[in-house]
Amino acid sequence: MTHFPKTELNSVHRLPQRGQYDKETIYRIVDEAKICHVGFAVDGQPFVIPTIHARDGDMLYLHGAKASRLLKHIAEGHPVCVTITLLDGLVLARSVFHSSMNYRSVVLFGCGTVVEEDAAKLHALEVLTNQLVAGRWEDARKPTPKELNATTVVALSLESASAKIRVGPPSDDEEDYALPIWAGVLPLRQQALELAPDPRLNAGIPAPEYLSDLVSGD
Amino acid sequence: MTHFPKTELNSVHRLPQRGQYDKETIYRIVDEAKICHVGFAVDGQPFVIPTIHARDGDMLYLHGAKASRLLKHIAEGHPVCVTITLLDGLVLARSVFHSSMNYRSVVLFGCGTVVEEDAAKLHALEVLTNQLVAGRWEDARKPTPKELNATTVVALSLESASAKIRVGPPSDDEEDYALPIWAGVLPLRQQALELAPDPRLNAGIPAPEYLSDLVSGD
């Protein structure tokens, strides 16, 4: 399956021309983002929690402390909605009405199961750590059995999803193009600044390349 | 009231030392962010939608097309949860277990009402437009009565909220500081790139200062 079936659950209702359902598009956004927002409901009261995520095929891993309310809720089999948004720019149309943003967002739906087995849990933590920074898992001190036991990992099976994307210049009403108002896009991106070594870092430990390569050039 | 009362709804359960409840801290995060994630539940199924927001005192405005499912749901009086996250850095601890992120997030709870009256609606759109870019409202072509009619604005009364903030270097287990592993923070920030004028922009319209001032210097 290369596309998620378009159903009532995942259909993009507003501005449906911005909706996309193919896995390649959706997963590229999931993989680029460092955080997601997970929504769940308890007795009709919604909660939205930011957390880190990592994709492994058609699974999405989330993790946290054993006591996490979110993870307990997922473990109980309740449906969740995971939304990921990459903000690419502010769209300044001539009219307030057509002002907008350029963005790439995905909405994922699924139910989760707890990853119980140690090897599977370690694998998930490896995927999560390398999502934070590719290459970090190899370098870092791996979880001890006690730490592994204190961590809950859930795997969400991605059953339904859609992406919504806006790119390009503003789209004004035809008669507004004559107005003497500046219009265009203020592009935004997430920039990595100079590495800040731990004040307690021992002398003679250089920053690894997989980190220094992420720092934006001038 | 300068603090939100700490209740079951808004209490930070995990790592409670990171929780903050004062309005000044919470509202500074709300005001800095360009987007929020709104969670709502329909028959137990959660949805999380990214959208733009703007604060006006203890109210949060959201807006969209009249047909928006989210806004209709809010208009019906259902509770929503609005979460805003600013990502400030990746925290590379020596151990996988203590790896983390630096962030400032807020979780807001409230119910909404539709802003019906034209003057109040225009005021809300002014606040929303200036949240996109401060100063834009004055410059842009204001909504026509038809556009105003096609737009729904809801005002959420912020009844409960909390912030959760992590700053600073990694916090490793004491015995791990001796390990020959680089540790520190990769700071992240949202950067504005060079303005991209609309290809259809008429000649002789310079970029206004309130926009060019936002472009990050080298």
- Mean pLDDT, residues B9-27 taken together: 89
User: Are A198 and B87 inside 8 Å of each other by CB?
Assistant: no
How many pairs of residues across A and B have Cβ atoms under 8 Å apart? 302
- What pLDDT is attached to residue B168? 97
The ipTM (two decimal places) reads 0.95
A7 found inside a domain: no
CATH at residue B63: 2.30.110.10
pLDDT above 70: residue B217? no
Reported confidence tier of residue A11, pLDDT bands at 50, 70, 90: confident
- Mean pLDDT, residues B195-200 taken together: 98
Rounded Cα–Cα distance for residues A92 and A169 (Å): 8
pLDDT tens digits along A172-205: 999 999 999 999 999 999 999 999 999 999 999 9
> Distance from CA of residue B5 to its chain's centroid?
21
- Does this model's pTM top 0.90? My answer is yes
Which residues in chain A have Cβ-Cβ distances shorter than 8 Å to B143?
95-97
- What pLDDT is attached to residue B51? 96
pLDDT above 50: residue A218? no
Judge contact between B89 and B70, C-beta under 8 A.
Answer: no
pLDDT above 50: residue B123? yes
pLDDT above 90: residue A14? no
Q: Minimum mean pLDDT among A208-212, B18-22, B53-57, B105-109: which range?
A: B18-22
Place of tokens 């898992």: A137
Mutation to test the A interface, candidates B18, B45, B92, B171, most A Cβ within 10 Å: B92
User: Are B182 and A132 inside 8 Å of each other by CB?
Assistant: no
User: Are A208 and B132 inside 8 Å of each other by CB?
Assistant: no
A113 found inside a domain: yes
Which residues in chain B have Cβ-Cβ distances shorter than 8 Å to A68?
13-14
User: Are B92 and A133 inside 8 Å of each other by CB?
Assistant: yes
User: What domain range is B144 assigned to?
Assistant: 16-212
Rounded Cα–Cα distance for residues A84 and A104 (Å): 8
A204 found inside a domain: yes
B125 found inside a domain: yes
User: Could you give the residue ranges of the DSSP H alpha helices within A40-144?
Assistant: 69-75, 118-132, 136-139
How many domains does chain B fold into? 1
- Mean pLDDT, residues B35-60 taken together: 95
Burial of B24 (0-12, 13-18, 19+ CB in 10 A): exposed
A2 found inside a domain: no
pLDDT averaged over chain A?
94
- In chain B, DSSP assigns E strands to 19-20, 36-42, 45-51, 53-56, 59-65, 80-92, 100-114, 151-166, 184-192, 196-197
Q: Which two tokens stand for residue A99?
A: 């002002």
pLDDT above 60: residue B218? no
User: Are B99 and A129 inside 8 Å of each other by CB?
Assistant: yes
Which residues in chain B have Cβ-Cβ distances shorter than 8 Å to A190?
87, 188-191
pLDDT above 90: residue A66? no
pLDDT averaged over chain B?
94
A170 found inside a domain: yes
Judge contact between B18 and B166, C-beta under 8 A.
Answer: yes
- What pLDDT is attached to residue A157? 92
pLDDT above 80: residue A40? yes
A87 found inside a domain: yes
- Mean pLDDT, residues A157-181 taken together: 96
User: Are B67 and A147 inside 8 Å of each other by CB?
Assistant: no
CA distance A72 to chain B (A): 13
B119 found inside a domain: yes
Chain A's closest residue to B99, CA to CA, is A129
